[in-house]
C-alpha cells in the first residue's frame, strides 16, 4: 500500500513508491500547536523544516521597529521554514493562525532525499520555484497596485490554492484570517482593509458571511487583480519518466 504523504508534492510530478516511502520515513512525530502558537521564531537556529498537516500558519518577517509583514500564508500540505535552510538563523517567524499540526523533518534527513530519492528532490525543488512565483506575484501587487486590486489578487490566489488542497468549493472561502492579518499580508492597515472589503462588497464582487467570504464574481476579481493566470506544469517532458511509467509501457 502506498503510504499517504501529507506533502502536496505530487502537484507537479508523480513520485515512485520508493520515493514516497523514503519521504514518509523522514517525517517526525506530529506536533500540535495551539492557536497563536509559534512553531519557530525569527532568529532561532535552523535544524528542521516542517510539513503542515492541519491548520493555517503565517510566515512573518518582523522589522526592528515592531512592524510585521506576513510573507506567506500556509495551508495543509505546505512545507514550512524551507527558506531559512540557507541561513544560520531563521528568517521567518512561523505563527499558527489557527490550532495547527506540523510534522518536523530533520535537515539531515531532508538532505538525504537528494541522494536517495532524486525524484522527490525534483518535486521539492519545483515546489520551491512555485513559492518564488507566489512571492513574485505578491511583490508585484503590493508594489504596483491599489488596495482594491491587492485584495482582489489575494482573494483569487487563496481561492485557487484552497481548490488545489481540496478545501474550497465554488467561490466560497471559509477562513480564519482577521482584517489585521489581511493588512499584514498586503502591506495595508486593518482600517483600510475594512474599507476596501466594504467597497468590494458594495460593488457586488464579494459577499462577507460570518467567517468566510464568497467570491461572487471570480472573473471580475481576476481582471481587477491584473496578474496573468498561472498554469502549473504536470509531469513535464523534460523529466526522465518515473519507473512506474516505464513498467506500464
Partner DNA sequence: CGACAAGTTGAAAAGCATCAAAGTAGGTGG
Partner DNA sequence: CCACCTACTTTGATGCTTTTCAACTTGTCG
**Contact between 194 and DNA (CB under 7 A)?**
yes
Packing angle, helices 107-116 and 118-144, rounded to 10: 120
Among residues 188, 200, 205, 224, which is the contact residue for DNA, using CB under 7 A? 188
Within a 13 Å sphere around the CA of 197, how many CA atoms are in the beta-carbon half? 22
Out of 178, 203, 209, 223, which residue is the one contacting DNA (CB under 7 A)? 178
242: contact with a second copy by CB under 8 A: no
Which residue is associated with the grid cell 499558527?
96
Which of 17, 25, 32, 125 forms a contact with a second copy (CB under 8 A)?
A: 125
Cell of 228: 496573468
* Using rule CB under 7 A, residue 148 touches DNA: yes
180 binds DNA (CB under 7 A): yes
- Residue in 144, 163, 195, 208 binding a second copy, rule: CB under 8 A: 144
Smallest separation (angstroms) from a second copy to the CB of 142? 5
Complete edge-to-edge strand list for the sheet that includes strand 100-106: 31-33, 100-106, 48-54, 79-80
| Residue 189 dihedral angles phi and psi, to the nearest 5° | -100, 155
Q: How far is the CB of 120 from a second copy (least distance, A)?
A: 10
Query: Taking the chain, what is the end-to-end CA distance rounded to the nearest angstrom?
Result: 22
Buried b (16+ CB within 10 A) or exposed e, 173-210: bebebebebbbbbbebeeeebeebbeebeeeebbeeee
Q: What x-and-dash track marks residues 149-178 binding a second copy by CB under 8 A?
A: ------------------------------
Helix 17-26 vs helix 118-144: crossing angle, to nearest 10: 70
Kindly state whether residue 179 participates in binding a second copy, applying the rule CB under 8 A. Answer: no
Q: Confirm or reject binding of residue 147 to DNA (CB under 7 A).
A: yes
Question: 3-state class of 220 per DSSP?
Answer: helix
Return d(Cα 85, Cα 127) in angstroms, integer.
15
Residues 205-244 as x/- pattern, contact with DNA by CB under 7 A: ---x-xx---------------------------------
Q: What are the residues binding DNA (CB under 7 A)?
A: 146-148, 178-180, 187-192, 194-198, 208, 210-211
Q: What are the residues binding a second copy (CB under 8 A)?
A: 12, 42-43, 47, 59, 61, 63-65, 67-69, 71-72, 82-89, 91-92, 106-108, 110-112, 114-115, 118-119, 121-122, 124-133, 135-140, 142-145, 186-187, 223, 226-228, 230-233, 236, 238-240
Amino acid at each position: 500500500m502506498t503510504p499517504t504523504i501529507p506533502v502536496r508534492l505530487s502537484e507537479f510530478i508523480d513520485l515512485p513508491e520508493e520515493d514516497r516511502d523514503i519521504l514518509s520515513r523522514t517525517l517526525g512525530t506530529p506536533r500540535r500547536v495551539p492557536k497563536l502558537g509559534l512553531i519557530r521564531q525569527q532568529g532561532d537556529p535552523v535544524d528542521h523544516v516542517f510539513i503542515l498537516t492541519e491548520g493555517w500558519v503565517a510566515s512573518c518577517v518582523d522589522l526592528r521597529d515592531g512592524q510585521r509583514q506576513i510573507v506567506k500564508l500556509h495551508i495543509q500540505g505546505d512545507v514550512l521554514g524551507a527558506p531559512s535552510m540557507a541561513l544560520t538563523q531563521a528568517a521567518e517567524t512561523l505563527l499558527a493562525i489557527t490550532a495547527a499540526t506540523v510534522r518536523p523533518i530533520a535537515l539531515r534527513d531532508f538532505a538525504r532525499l537528494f541522494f536517495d530519492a532524486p525524484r522527490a528532490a525534483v518535486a521539492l525543488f519545483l515546489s520551491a520555484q512555485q513559492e518564488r512565483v507566489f512571492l513574485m506575484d505578491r511583490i508585484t501587487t503590493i508594489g504596483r497596485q491599489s488596495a482594491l486590486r491587492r485584495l482582489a489578487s489575494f482573494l483569487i490566489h487563496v481561492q485557487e490554492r484552497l481548490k488545489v488542497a481540496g478545501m474550497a468549493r465554488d467561490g466560497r472561502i471559509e477562513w480564519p484570517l482577521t482584517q489585521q492579518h489581511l493588512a499584514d499580508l498586503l502591506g495595508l492597515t486593518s482600517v483600510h482593509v475594512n474599507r476596501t472589503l466594504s467597497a468590494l462588497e458594495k460593488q457586488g464582487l464579494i459577499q462577507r458571511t460570518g467567517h468566510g467570504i464568497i467570491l461572487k464574481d471570480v472573473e471580475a476579481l481576476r481582471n481587477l487583480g491584473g496578474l496573468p493566470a498561472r498554469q502549473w506544469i504536470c509531469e513535464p517532458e523534460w523529466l526522465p519518466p518515473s519507473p512506474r511509467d516505464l513498467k506500464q509501457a
